[in-house]
A and B are shown apart, each in its own frame.
Chain A
């Protein structure tokens, strides 16, 4: 079983709704990631948090708002999404070196399948 837990597994929302995706890991990893994956495509990096601070934002639209409340939790707040935002949203985590590099394996959760109507 994956050690990165994502909720909910499925989410259907309208374009005016506000919802959140949640991610939790207890492996002591200090780097956490949000990826977006469309069908039959590789994961695309959205955000990276390093030691609870946002370190990478891959020019993601502001309708996606990440939050890292503590070293174990990562949220992705969703507002005014478009139908083209429908995808599998993956959370991942990894170790972090003292110099800030990701170290070793990236552990993925099972994802939250988002459908925007």
Chain B
């Protein structure tokens, strides 16, 4: 019940295209859903996060869509750029755990020029 399933494992997009990464979860106690971006040789950095009381959150070119009934959330990167090439991890944290952030397996995004 603690798993977060992420797809696809890898994604290749042309510059200017839309990148879409999907995550699904089972644990209905999850109440915080962040997306992390990680470049090679760097630590993960928070990109955008959402709570279940909203269905969408947008920050610049990055949008999280959240479907509580389907227990799914997704990251959309509009106008994808080569600089967006990185590994993206979705994650979730249940209200009762305090500290345990459960990560998806990651998506390696490549944006071709």
CB distance from B110 to the nearest CB of A (A): 14
Can you name 16 extra interface pairs (CB under 8 A) apart from A33-B99, A50-B99?
A: A2-B43, A4-B43, A31-B99, A40-B106, A42-B89, A42-B103, A42-B106, A55-B98, A90-B43, A94-B99, A101-B98, A102-B98, A102-B101, A108-B45, A110-B43, A111-B42
Assembly CA distance A55 to B97 (angstroms): 11
The answer to whether A56 touches B99, judged by C-beta atoms less than 8 angstroms apart, is: yes
Assembly CA distance A106 to B44 (angstroms): 9
Nearest opposing residue in chain A for B95, CB measure: A101
CB 8 Å contact bits of B69-105 with A (1 = contact, 0 = none): 0000000000000000001010101010011110111
CB distance from B101 to the nearest CB of A (A): 6
CB neighbours of A45 from chain B (8 A):
99-101
Report if A102-B93 is in contact (Cβ < 8 Å); known contacts: A31-B99, A111-B42: yes
CB neighbours of A105 from chain B (8 A):
34, 46, 49
Query: Could you say which interface size class chain B belongs to?
Result: 20 to 34
Interface SS of chain A: strand
Query: Which residue among B98, B103, B105, B108 has the maximum number of chain A CB atoms within 10 Å of its CB?
Result: B98
Assembly CA distance A77 to B57 (angstroms): 41
The answer to whether B42 touches A110, judged by C-beta atoms less than 8 angstroms apart, is: yes
CB neighbours of B104 from chain A (8 A):
42
Q: Taking the complex as formed, is A8 at the interface, i.e. its CB lies under 8 A from any CB of chain B?
A: no
Closest 9 CB pairs of A and B: A42-B103, A108-B43, A102-B99, A48-B99, A101-B98, A110-B43, A105-B46, A108-B44, A111-B43
